[in-house]
Amino acid sequence: MSILEDARALAESGPVCDACLGRAFAERSFGLTNAERGKSLRVAAALDDDEPYEAVETEDCWVCEGACAEFDEWAERCAEAIEDVEVETYQVGTRAPPLVEENELLLREGAGLPEDAGELFKSEFNREVGKRVGRLTGTEVDFTRPDVQFLLDIEADTVEAQLNSAFVYGRYRKLARDIPQTEWPCRECDGSGYKGKEPCDYCGGSGYLYEDSVEGFVAPVVTDVMDGVDAKFHGAGREDVDALMLGTGRPFVVEIMEPRRRTIDVEQLEGDINAMADGEIEVEGLRLATYDMVERVKKLDASKEYRAAVEFDDDVTDEELQAALDELTGATIEQYTPHRVDHRRASITRTRHVYDATGDLEDARHATVEVHGEGGLYIKELVSGDEGRTNPSLAGILDTGAVVTALDVIAVEGEDEPFEDDEFFKD
């Protein structure tokens, strides 16, 4: 059958609006709306048959039941839903009424067309409403991860505007010990602060094992500035609670849920966070980032540099220390899950590499050691040996007990490329 014969067959089923008629031929030609296709076919058929042209009012269409006349109304409702929200990109999704979807199948079946001919009603609705939303709000469509996703439920007559997260990247330095990276709920009361009706003795009723955290200093400030409802803190690994994080700091991303503001002064934000932290931590290099930066921070292979204060059980000479450090430099280390983390880590043997190890004696029982190693290398156990669970170790090579009394992380950098790549930033 020709396209005009197909159009006639569709039109004979009853009053079919131009959009529903043209939608069956959505793959034909370009630069036309389905309504323009439908009207053109109706006119062409009337000319070919030398019959009067008879328009069909969209409100009378038995297929969409008049829904294709409501594109402007739905777009205006979308714009109203984000009237006080800052967004740059959007996407529209439609939940079509089951009856309309069934009518579409009946329309094509009655005309002898494949059930997937053209495009679906909801695809057209998404596009036509979406074009109007863009014009009304001055935003651009984004089919990957837009700032806002609209869901139009035609049968329920509702518009849902889902604000996607915004992301702020930076690096933090932790300048005080006994501060965890993220909030640490009390394990005795599960973060409630209560055991039964009484305040929890273990955490003093706070619900947390530590009063402060890097997350606690950073996330609330960013949430407030971006007018979000909640936040998640994503770090490129984490240092021990009792370790400092110095040097260029550790990369992190703060994810802000449902932000109403996205254009912010990151330099001002940096100053606000540092003022709030009052010397406990510092942040720098804040930038607005993309969703993909979260995965990059979490999964990019990174090496770490550490400085450790070490205490020995027996006297050690400088020559012995230097020889031991030389032996560790370039070594492949096998570490069975350390005692101190075996309650939260799988019991396996991990293989990690030491790139460089240097150090100086302060006296016969004390030294400062610096280690550059592969990510995931347990430094305290590299020094102590962890009762033979780490091999080789500084203690094992020196044949004396050794323990880290203070640990500082002085660098966290990508193994093969830096964390900071313009591809992952929005500014």
Orientation of helix 98-110 relative to helix 3-11, angle to 10°? 130
Q: Indicate which CATH number applies to the domain containing 396.
A: 3.30.70.3190
Q: How much is the pLDDT for 14?
A: 92
Torsion of CA 405, 411, 412, 416, to 10 degrees: -130
Q: Is residue 427 part of a domain?
A: no
Q: Is residue 421 part of a domain?
A: no
Are residues 310 and 338 located together in one domain of the fold? Answer: yes
* Kind and range of the H or E run holding 277: helix 266-277
Q: Is residue 18 part of a domain?
A: yes
Q: Is residue 420 part of a domain?
A: no
Are residues 51 and 65 located together in one domain of the fold? Answer: yes
Q: How much is the pLDDT for 340?
A: 82
Reply yes or no on whether the pLDDT at 188 is more than 90: no
Of 259, 279, 299, at which residue does a domain stop? 299
Residue range(s) defining the domain that contains residue 366: 302-414
pLDDT digits (tens, 9 = 90+) for 123-154: 999 999 999 999 999 999 999 999 999 999 99
Are residues 82 and 213 located together in one domain of the fold? Answer: no
Provide the pLDDT confidence category of residue 344 given band limits of 50, 70 and 90: low
Are residues 290 and 231 located together in one domain of the fold? Answer: yes
Percent of the chain with pLDDT over 90: 86
Q: Is residue 425 part of a domain?
A: no
Are residues 293 and 324 located together in one domain of the fold? Answer: no
Of 299, 315, 331, at which residue does a domain stop? 299
Contacts of residues 374-377 at CB distance under 8 Å and 24 or more positions apart, as own/partner, are: 374/303, 374/304, 374/415, 375/237, 375/301, 375/302, 375/303, 375/304, 375/415, 376/237, 376/350, 376/352, 377/304, 377/333, 377/335, 377/352, 377/353
Q: Indicate which CATH number applies to the domain containing 45.
A: 3.30.2300.10
Q: Is residue 426 part of a domain?
A: no
Orientation of helix 121-137 relative to helix 98-110, angle to 10°? 120
Q: Indicate which CATH number applies to the domain containing 263.
A: 3.30.70.2510
Least confident of 84-98, 154-168, 196-210, 404-418: 196-210
Are residues 114 and 255 located together in one domain of the fold? Answer: no
Residues annotated as catalytic are 240
Average pLDDT of span 204-221: 86
Domain tally, the chain: 3
Q: How much is the pLDDT for 184?
A: 75
Average pLDDT of span 161-187: 93
Are residues 69 and 155 located together in one domain of the fold? Answer: yes
Task: State yes or no: cis peptide before 392, omega within 30 of 0.
Answer: yes
pLDDT digits (tens, 9 = 90+) for 22-48: 999 999 988 999 999 999 999 999 999
Q: How much is the pLDDT for 252?
A: 98
Are residues 39 and 70 located together in one domain of the fold? Answer: yes
Are residues 272 and 180 located together in one domain of the fold? Answer: yes
Q: Is residue 408 part of a domain?
A: yes
Q: How much is the pLDDT for 30?
A: 86
Q: Is 306 annotated as a binding residue?
A: yes
Are residues 258 and 339 located together in one domain of the fold? Answer: no
Are residues 88 and 205 located together in one domain of the fold? Answer: no
What would the two tokens of residue 394 be?
A: 């500084």
Reply yes or no on whether the pLDDT at 230 is more than 70: yes
**Continuous H helices in 300-418:** 318-328, 379-384, 394-398
Q: Is 194 annotated as a binding residue?
A: no
* 3 state SS of 173: strand
Of 163, 197, 226, at which residue does a domain stop? 163
Q: Is residue 16 part of a domain?
A: yes
Are residues 58 and 119 located together in one domain of the fold? Answer: yes
